[in-house]
């Protein structure tokens, strides 16, 4: 069942190459000063919103998120491909960063360049205080047996005998008697998978499932069965579980608003955002989606969801970056339709009304006096980036809805009770003048 204790680098190389895109061999030198330094900067932008500035799992993401973000400083990782008695390898950390954890709020970061992901690996290994020796005890996976009715029946019996139903339920739907009470070793509630239809956190292949049964998921209630049953029995469990899986995806709702809502749930948008309409709370990693739905051009919002990295950094006061969720055009449009429904919007965008030069000059003066201390506009910031509190308003006409911005700035609390911006003290006429000015700047 187990390898004979040999710390086989060659086996790890083959294992890393089979895990997924962008993976390579474990290096003898786990970290470099340059890699750790670069990874630290990337971590603050890409990961700290959920995992915390100190990588301790205490970010500003939704406090109700399940499962909770991993405390990376603990050096413990639940998705392993080598025995958990060893420290995690760089290849294993890279696999999670590259592939994400399906069915959770941890997205794939495959959109980052390979050297950026490698730098993140080095930083995570550093804060987790992993040893410099980047090797581990490899798991030997024996050949997969052919599927037979007898083998599937044996797997079904093992599922019962090993107590799998206590968590995952008799029918594998995640509704076992113990399910409401499960917690990880940090005391956070953790929900068992619906084995019939949920995405598998560590991958869907037979090999992936064998590893989960053999290794377990360290730090969670999912145990290792390697010392309990034989390799042949592990395969029986794997093949029985695969026989239970529903192969057809659920039908897509015909209504784009309903589909958009499903996508907001599937992508765990509430982990980072409030105002999603699917949970009462949410995270503070990104802005309220209820506000975004009201103030942005719907066409621009759709394009942004398709490729959020192309827009650059819109809000310098928020250190975090929006990950690319891999949405296609239809999915992005469906999410926009759902968000628009939250704001009762049907228009694409309302353009700014025309204004004469005198009115624009009046708006410019108001901007300089009342707005420039918090916002950047084009290449003329009035304050240092560290002092800016609001988003960059450059090219506002291409991104925003005029009426939405006007209503929001007048009283942000009507859109978001927790909005950092206070109701504007400007008169309606002055407020309209300054927003006209903003929309005139290209």
Lowest mean pLDDT among 182-191, 237-246, 253-262, 295-304: 182-191
Lowest mean pLDDT among 143-147, 215-219, 297-301, 392-396: 392-396
Structure tokens, 345? 């919007």
Task: Evaluate whether 229 touches 145 at the Cβ level (below 8 Å).
Answer: no
**Does position 8 have pLDDT exceeding 70, yes or no?**
no
Task: Give CA–CA dist 190/78, Å, rounded.
Answer: 13
Q: Comparing 417 with 284, which gets the higher pLDDT?
A: 284
Supply φ then ψ for residue 402, to 5 degrees.
Answer: -60, -50
Lowest mean pLDDT among 19-28, 90-99, 188-197, 238-247: 19-28
* pLDDT for res 383: 55
Indicate the class that CATH gives domain 357-440. mainly beta
Indicate the class that CATH gives domain 256-342. mainly alpha
Q: Cβ atoms within 10 A of the Cβ of 246, count?
A: 10
* pLDDT for res 66: 85
pLDDT band at residue 418 using 50, 70 and 90 as cut-offs: confident
Report pLDDT digits (tens) over 338-371.
Answer: 999 998 887 777 778 888 899 999 999 999 888 8
pLDDT band at residue 387 using 50, 70 and 90 as cut-offs: low
**Does position 311 have pLDDT exceeding 60, yes or no?**
yes
pLDDT band at residue 2 using 50, 70 and 90 as cut-offs: very low
Buried b (16+ CB within 10 A) or exposed e, 200-238: bbbbeebebbbbbbbbbbbbbbbebbbeebebebbbbbb
Q: Which long-range contacts (CB under 8 A, 24 or more apart) does 200-208 make?
A: 200/102, 200/103, 201/78, 201/79, 201/101, 201/102, 201/103, 201/104, 202/79, 202/101, 203/20, 203/99, 203/102, 206/144, 206/238, 206/239, 206/242, 207/18, 207/141
Quote the CATH superfamily of domain 149-244.
Answer: Cytochrome c-like domain (1.10.760.10)
Q: Tokens 């025309």 label which residue?
A: 354
Task: Evaluate whether 141 touches 210 at the Cβ level (below 8 Å).
Answer: yes
Task: Give CA–CA dist 40/168, Å, rounded.
Answer: 38
Could you please report the per-residue DSSP string of 134-167?
A: ----BPP-PPPPPP-HHHHHHHHHHHHHTTHHHH
Task: Please name every residue paired with 422 in a beta bridge, in sequence order, or none if there are none.
Answer: none
Task: Give CA–CA dist 391/401, Å, rounded.
Answer: 15
Cα Rg for the chain, rounded, in angstroms?
25
Task: Give CA–CA dist 45/53, Å, rounded.
Answer: 10
Task: Give CA–CA dist 52/63, Å, rounded.
Answer: 12
* pLDDT for res 390: 82
Q: Tokens 């090993």 label which residue?
A: 162
Report pLDDT digits (tens) over 58-105.
Answer: 999 999 998 889 999 999 999 999 999 999 999 999 999 999 999 999
Q: What percent of the chain has pLDDT over 70?
A: 91
Whether the bond between 124 and the residue before it is cis, its omega within 30 degrees of 0, is no
Task: Give CA–CA dist 71/9, Å, rounded.
Answer: 27
Mean pLDDT of all residues in the chain?
A: 89
Q: Comparing 417 with 171, which gets the higher pLDDT?
A: 171
Task: Evaluate whether 311 touches 304 at the Cβ level (below 8 Å).
Answer: yes
Q: How far is CA 15 from CA 10, 46, 84, 148, in A?
A: 9, 27, 15, 28
Task: Please name every residue paired with 296 in a beta bridge, in sequence order, or none if there are none.
Answer: 400
Task: Give CA–CA dist 26/12, Å, rounded.
Answer: 7
User: In the chain, where are the structural domains located?
Assistant: 9-127, 149-244, 256-342, 357-440
Task: Give CA–CA dist 335/366, Å, rounded.
Answer: 36
pLDDT band at residue 381 using 50, 70 and 90 as cut-offs: low
Could you please report the per-residue DSSP string of 337-357?
A: HHHHHHTT---S--PPPP--H
> What phi-psi label fits residue 326: left (phi over 0), alpha (psi between -120 and 50 degrees) or beta?
left
For 9-127, CATH number? 1.10.760.10
* pLDDT for res 1: 34
Report pLDDT digits (tens) over 50-60.
Answer: 999 999 999 99
Domains 9-127 and 357-440 share a fold: no
Could you please report the per-residue DSSP string of 104-134?
A: SS----TTS-HHHHHHHHHHHHHHTT--SB-
Task: Give CA–CA dist 345/348, Å, rounded.
Answer: 8
Lowest mean pLDDT among 200-204, 333-337, 387-391: 387-391
**Does position 208 have pLDDT exceeding 60, yes or no?**
yes
* pLDDT for res 379: 62
Task: Give CA–CA dist 223/230, Å, rounded.
Answer: 15
């Amino acid at each position: 069942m187990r390898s004979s204790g040999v710390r086989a680098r060659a086996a790890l190389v083959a294992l890393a190459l089979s895990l997924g895109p962008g993976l390579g061999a474990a290096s003898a030198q786990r970290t470099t000063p340059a890699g750790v330094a670069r990874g630290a900067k990337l971590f603050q932008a890409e990961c700290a919103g959920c995992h915390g500035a100190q990588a301790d799992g205490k970010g500003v993401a939704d406090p109700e998120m399940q499962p909770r973000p991993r405390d990376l400083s603990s050096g413990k990782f639940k998705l392993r491909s080598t025995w958990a008695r060893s420290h995690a390898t760089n290849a294993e950390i890279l696999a999670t960063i590259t592939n994400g954890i399906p069915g959770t709020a941890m997205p794939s970061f495959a959109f980052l360049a390979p050297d950026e992901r490698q730098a993140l690996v080095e930083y995570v290994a550093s804060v987790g205080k992993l040893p410099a020796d980047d090797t581990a005890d490899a798991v030997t996976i024996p050949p997969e047996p052919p599927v037979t009715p007898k083998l599937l029946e044996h797997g079904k019996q093992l599922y019962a005998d090993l107590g799998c139903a206590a968590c995952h339920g008799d029918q594998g739907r995640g509704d076992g008697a113990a399910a409401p009470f499960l917690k990880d070793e940090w005391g956070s509630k953790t929900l068992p998978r619906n084995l019939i239809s949920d995405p598998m956190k560590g991958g869907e292949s037979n090999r992936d499932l064998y590893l989960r049964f053999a290794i377990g998921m360290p730090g969670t209630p999912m145990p290792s069965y390697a010392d309990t049953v034989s390799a042949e029995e592990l395969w029986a469990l794997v093949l029985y579980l695969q026989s239970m899986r529903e192969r057809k995806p659920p039908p897509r709702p015909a209504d784009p608003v309903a589909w958009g809502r499903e996508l907001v749930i599937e992508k765990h948008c509430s982990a980072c955002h409030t105002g999603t309409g699917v949970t009462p709370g949410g995270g503070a990693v990104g802005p309220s989606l209820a506000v975004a739905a009201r103030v942005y051009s719907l066409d621009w919002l759709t394009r942004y969801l398709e490729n959020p990295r192309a827009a650059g950094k819109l809000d310098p006061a928020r250190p975090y970056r929006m990950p690319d969720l891999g949405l296609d055009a239809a999915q992005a449009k469906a999410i926009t339709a759902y968000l628009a429904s939250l704001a009762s919007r049907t228009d694409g965008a309302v353009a700014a009304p025309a204004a004469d030069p005198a009115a624009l000059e009046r708006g410019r003066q108001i901007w300089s006096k009342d707005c420039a201390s918090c916002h950047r506009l084009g290449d003329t910031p009035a304050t240092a980036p560290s002092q800016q509190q609001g988003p960059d308003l450059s090219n506002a006409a291409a991104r925003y809805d005029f009426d939405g911005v006007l209503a929001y700035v007048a009283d942000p609390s009507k859109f978001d009770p927790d909005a950092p911006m206070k109701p504007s003290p400007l008169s309606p006429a002055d407020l309209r003048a300054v927003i006209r000015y903003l929309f005139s700047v290209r």
